[in-house]
């Protein structure tokens, strides 16, 4: 439906158009932005993380489809098992790291900096999705997944820096 959404209407499905300012479109758009950033990260991250990043990107696409098509059973639904997998990744990576006692500044290697950028986009997507959930039913596992993904990307950034021999930059506030 190219050009169908040139005005202030967004095309969701062949029979479903919404105002571009409606929180559903804003939330789905935030998921899209995040998927793009994760895709860009995948071009810079080592092979040991490629499968993890690809899985995250697929899940984000599932989330976008699930949100854009409320109640449509044809789209995969985020599950508690996917949230648990993020938690297992976080726990495993944290074993490599010194526990934090203060805030760190985002940055370091290019892939780590990209993780921090994607993490900020996850947080925005989560906020938009929380707002959406106040107006219409949203799978609670979507909210949990986004919350854990933010944590996952933070820890991954630290691991990438650690493995590259780049120290965390502590905030001196």
Task: With cut-offs at 50, 70 and 90, classify the pLDDT of residue 159.
Answer: very high
At 83, which CATH number? 1.20.1200.10
- 8 belongs to a structural domain: no
Average pLDDT for 66-71: 76
Average pLDDT for 12-26: 51
- Looking at residue 73, what is its pLDDT? 62
Between 21 and 139, the higher pLDDT residue? 139
- 7 belongs to a structural domain: no
The alpha carbon dihedral of 52, 38, 22, 129 has a sign of: positive
- 114 belongs to a structural domain: yes
pLDDT tens digit sequence for 79-90: 999 999 999 999
Task: Retrieve residue 29's tokens.
Answer: 């758009």
Average pLDDT for 127-138: 88
- Could you tell me what percent of the chain has a pLDDT over 90? 55
- Looking at residue 57, what is its pLDDT? 92
- Looking at residue 72, what is its pLDDT? 63
| Residue range of the domain that includes 139 | 23-170
- Looking at residue 121, what is its pLDDT? 93
- 17 belongs to a structural domain: no
Q: How many domains are contained in the chain?
A: 1
- 124 belongs to a structural domain: yes
- 34 belongs to a structural domain: yes
- 15 belongs to a structural domain: no
Q: Is 74 exposed, middle or buried (0-12, 13-18, 19+ CB in 10 A)?
A: exposed
């Amino acid at each position: 439906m190219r050009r169908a959404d040139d005005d202030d209407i967004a095309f969701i499905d062949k029979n479903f158009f919404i105002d571009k300012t409606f929180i559903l479109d804003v939330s789905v758009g935030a998921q899209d932005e995040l998927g793009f950033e994760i895709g860009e990260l995948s071009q810079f991250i080592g092979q040991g993380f490629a499968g993890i990043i690809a899985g995250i990107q697929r899940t984000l696409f599932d989330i976008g489809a699930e949100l854009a098509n409320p109640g449509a059973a044809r789209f995969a639904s985020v599950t508690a098992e996917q949230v648990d997998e993020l938690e297992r990744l976080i726990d495993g990576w944290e074993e490599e790291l010194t526990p934090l006692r203060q805030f760190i500044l985002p940055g370091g290697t290019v892939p780590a900096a990209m993780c921090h950028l994607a993490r900020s986009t996850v947080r925005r997507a989560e906020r938009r999705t929380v707002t959406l959930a106040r107006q219409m039913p949203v799978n609670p596992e979507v909210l949990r997944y986004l919350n854990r993904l933010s944590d996952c990307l933070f820890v991954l950034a630290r691991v990438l820096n650690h493995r590259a021999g780049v120290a965390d930059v502590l905030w001196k506030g």
